């Protein structure tokens, strides 16, 4: 027989678990983690971001909204800090406000400055 706590935990997991467990996580870029994810061949997206950049904030907001859909949960997301990771930005050869998709260990698409859901999703779909 279930006690009240067990029952409430099970009910909460059934109601809220699917929506909470689906959201992808955008992790801070670390070279070893990102390169391992790319080398694995799995879908990876890098977001080159600066705190002061309006386009970057728009892209971040779009990514936050897309978290709730569950559509892109198979993608590993990393955020490159434009101001603090200049060496990475130089290797990527891109401006701030850039979203880059990798699939099968290779870059498959990139977009800079786009601030619409469609422009961000185009990159994410290329990674899948």
The torsion angles phi and psi of 114, rounded to 5 degrees, stand at -65, 135
Catalytic residue among 50, 53, 99, 120: 53
- Respond yes or no: is residue 53 known to be catalytic: yes
Residue by residue, DSSP assigns 27-64 as: EEP-HHHHHHHHHTTS-EEEEEE-TT-HHHHHHHHHHH
Catalytic residue among 26, 44, 46, 56: 56
Active site residues: 53, 56
């Amino acid at each position: 027989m279930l006690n009240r706590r067990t029952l409430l935990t099970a009910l909460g997991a059934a109601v809220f678990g699917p929506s909470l467990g689906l959201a992808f996580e955008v992790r801070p870029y670390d070279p070893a983690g990102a390169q391992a994810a790319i080398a694995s061949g799995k879908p990876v997206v890098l977001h080159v971001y600066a705190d002061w950049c309006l386009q970057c904030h728009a892209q971040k907001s779009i990514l936050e909204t897309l978290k709730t859909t569950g559509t892109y949960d198979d993608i590993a997301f990393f955020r490159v800090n434009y101001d603090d990771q200049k060496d990475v930005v130089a290797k990527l050869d891109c401006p701030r406000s850039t979203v880059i998709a990798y699939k099968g260990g290779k870059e498959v698409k990139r977009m800079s400055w786009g601030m619409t859901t469609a422009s961000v999703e185009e990159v994410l779909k290329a990674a899948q």
